[in-house]
């Protein structure tokens, strides 16, 4: 091989290696600046505390360098095409709102996203979206009068979609981790057997009446009672029984069933069929409201029916 060919091959190989190195550098997490590093951190599968902590540090560094820069990063991430990035960015945003309760800009960034998002999207981005809502309510409760109902602390006027979302968020899978969000349904902070929120807690806890400390028995509630207690009208709850989203249907049915409305009981049992016999609290409450033979009148809860 001539000297010219050897040198040509050598230079070609060098160029290939340099190009490969350049491509590799561009793939590094921080190569595209803060936003790309955050996308890399928040796009990892599963909630990794170390990644969340690193993301929080990047936001704080950006904000310390230039006021408002951290908020801009959040605004960009909430419109990202990767659902994992959006969901995890909301988890970090919720933490930031909790440690900086006076930072209204962070709250407004989330609320701007939340108010235009469909109920389906809000539920799809749970638990990130719920973490932000929980932080907003916690901050409002901390600065407001003691005992104020959560429904009165929500910073914007409730829309029809907000009420559908609140009904879905009253399910036990949410209330355990995000108690403030779970309490958004009630417009009163009072407790007792006549309160829907107490009945929902009673069913979720699975504690029989004899062990719960409740003296009075449960009675059916009328529409006026529900209108007084809840931020959702009972007629809207009935419409939600046929909602396209199962979380909304089940949440509405559960509320109506514990209030004593048989129309909610049918849908409630379809959701809770395995628990209709096993949950002692549910069994006792529904027997109180509908009689000991309540299952026989509801096909989805009758063990004798296929």
Predicted local distance difference test score (pLDDT) of residue 4: 59
Using one digit for the tens of pLDDT, what is the confidence trace for 209-230? 555 555 557 889 999 999 999 9
The average confidence (pLDDT) of the chain is 82
Whether the upstream peptide bond of residue 127 has omega within 30° of 0, thus cis, is: yes
Is residue 264 a contact partner of residue 271, using CB atoms and an 8 Å limit?
A: no
- How far apart (Å, rounded) are the C-alpha atoms in residues 276 and 24? 58
Instruction: Read off the pLDDT band of 5 (50, 70, 90).
Output: low
Q: What are phi and psi of 241, to 5 degrees?
A: -65, -20
- How far apart (Å, rounded) are the C-alpha atoms in residues 78 and 116? 12
Predicted local distance difference test score (pLDDT) of residue 259: 94
Instruction: Read off the pLDDT band of 26 (50, 70, 90).
Output: very low
Token pair of 89 as six digits = 């960015």
Q: Is pLDDT above 80 for 306?
A: no
List the beta bridge partners of residue 220: none
For residues 60-74, give the mean pLDDT: 87
- How far apart (Å, rounded) are the C-alpha atoms in residues 229 and 194? 10
The residue that leads in pLDDT, 45 or 305, is 45
For residues 290-303, give the mean pLDDT: 69
Instruction: Read off the pLDDT band of 267 (50, 70, 90).
Output: confident
Q: DSSP letter string over 141-176? A: HHHS-TT--GGGT-SS---HHHHHHHHHHTSHHHHT
- How far apart (Å, rounded) are the C-alpha atoms in residues 127 and 131? 6
- How far apart (Å, rounded) are the C-alpha atoms in residues 34 and 99? 22
Token pair of 108 as six digits = 């407004």
Is residue 185 a contact partner of residue 197, using CB atoms and an 8 Å limit?
A: yes
Is residue 298 a contact partner of residue 270, using CB atoms and an 8 Å limit?
A: no
Predicted local distance difference test score (pLDDT) of residue 17: 52
- 230 secondary structure, DSSP code: B
pTM: 0.81
Smallest CA-to-CA distance from 257 within 124, 150, 279 is with 279
Using one digit for the tens of pLDDT, what is the confidence trace for 122-144? 999 999 999 999 999 999 998 87
Predicted local distance difference test score (pLDDT) of residue 63: 85
Token pair of 286 as six digits = 């529904």
Q: State whether the Cα torsion 293-260-252-203 is positive or negative.
A: negative
Predicted local distance difference test score (pLDDT) of residue 276: 46
- How far apart (Å, rounded) are the C-alpha atoms in residues 17 and 45? 32
Predicted local distance difference test score (pLDDT) of residue 296: 73
Burial class (CB in 10 A: 0-12, 13-18, 19+), 94: buried
The residue that leads in pLDDT, 162 or 56, is 162
- 44 secondary structure, DSSP code: S
Q: Is 93 helix (H, G, I), strand (E, B) or coil?
A: helix
- How far apart (Å, rounded) are the C-alpha atoms in residues 227 and 61? 48
First-to-last C-alpha distance (Å) of the chain: 84
CA angle 181, 183, 189 (to 5 degrees): 150
């Amino acid at each position: 091989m001539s000297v010219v060919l050897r040198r040509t091959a050598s230079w070609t190989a060098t160029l290939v290696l340099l190009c490969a190195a350049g491509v590799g550098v561009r793939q590094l997490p921080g190569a595209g600046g803060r936003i790309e590093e955050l996308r890399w951190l928040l796009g990892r599968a599963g909630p990794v505390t170390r990644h969340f902590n690193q993301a929080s540090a990047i936001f704080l560094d950006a904000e310390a360098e230039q006021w408002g820069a951290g908020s801009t990063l959040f605004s960009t991430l909430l419109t990202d095409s990767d659902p994992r990035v959006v969901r995890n960015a909301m988890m970090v945003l919720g933490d930031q709102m909790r440690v900086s309760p006076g930072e209204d800009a962070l709250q407004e960034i989330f609320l701007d996203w939340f108010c235009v998002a469909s109920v389906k999207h809000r539920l799809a981005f749970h638990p990130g979206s719920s973490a932000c809502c929980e932080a907003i309510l916690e901050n409002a409760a901390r600065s407001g009068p003691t005992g104020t109902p959560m429904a009165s602390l929500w910073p914007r006027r409730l829309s029809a979609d907000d009420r559908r979302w609140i009904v879905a968020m009253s399910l036990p899978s949410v209330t355990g981790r995000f108690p403030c969000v779970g309490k958004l349904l009630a417009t009163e902070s009072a407790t007792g057997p006549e309160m829907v929120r107490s009945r929902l807690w009673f069913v979720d806890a699975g504690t029989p009446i004899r062990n719960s400390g409740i003296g009075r028995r449960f009675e059916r509630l009328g529409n006026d009672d529900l209108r007084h207690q809840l931020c959702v009208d009972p007629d809207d709850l009935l419409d939600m029984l046929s909602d396209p989203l199962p979380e909304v249907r089940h949440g509405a049915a559960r509320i109506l069933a514990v209030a004593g409305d048989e129309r909610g009981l049918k849908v409630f049992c379809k959701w809770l069929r395995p628990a209709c016999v096993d949950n002692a609290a549910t069994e006792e409450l529904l027997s109180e409201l509908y009689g000991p033979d309540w299952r026989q009148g509801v096909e989805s809860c009758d063990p004798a029916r296929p």
